[in-house]
Amino acid sequence: MYPKKGGGFVRKDYELGLIFNPEVSEDETRALLGRLEQIVATDGGQIVKMNQWGKKRLAYPIEHQRDGLYVFMDIILTPETVAEIERTLKVSEVVLRHLMKRRDPKFAQKERELRETRAAASANAPAEEPSAEPAPESLASVAEAEEFILSEEEMADVPPAIEESIEA
């Protein structure tokens, strides 16, 4: 690991997959997730996204369990923090399995830029007045479909379809 010029390590994007024991109380799982958040925050890391899938069937029994509670986290941390999280998860009786994987830097960068542009767009957008009637979903889907309708100029650029007749 190469340190940054100002000291410390470069933060990198990781994905953490967890399978919790379904027989453990919800308070214990929340406590472990809270502990992970503390570990990430101590070194200036950040939890970008947490995706809780809920209870799912396992492919094979793990510690005599057929089901598990799945949680996936996208996090940004230093390599030192990864080791501390690994140690915490290995000794935990709440977690059946875990996997920490480094994310593809190109994909993570694109996702980060997209998130920043959405945040900037929502911050710059004027607050809309709530209408008395909510817009029906059919109108929303029509608006989305209109975005993909090509103009006459764009249609001229599209090559004609090749039709083949099949004689029996």
Spatial strand order of the sheet with 46-62 comes to: 46-62, 65-77, 12-20, 95-102
- CA–CA dist 107, 61 (Å, integer): 33
Which of 59 and 165 is assigned the larger pLDDT? 59
pLDDT in tens, 61-84: 999 999 999 999 999 998 889 999
Q: What is the CATH number of domain 12-105?
A: 3.30.70.60
- CA–CA dist 74, 83 (Å, integer): 16
Which of 120 and 27 is assigned the larger pLDDT? 27
pLDDT in tens, 88-119: 999 999 999 999 999 887 877 788 788 788 87
Pairing mode, strands 12-20 and 65-77? antiparallel
Which of 137 and 67 is assigned the larger pLDDT? 67
Which of 15 and 132 is assigned the larger pLDDT? 15
Which of 67 and 144 is assigned the larger pLDDT? 67
pLDDT in tens, 1-42: 444 544 556 888 999 999 999 999 989 999 999 999 999 998
Two tokens, residue 52? 């809780």
Query: Does the pTM of the predicted model rise above 0.85?
Result: no
pLDDT at 6: 46
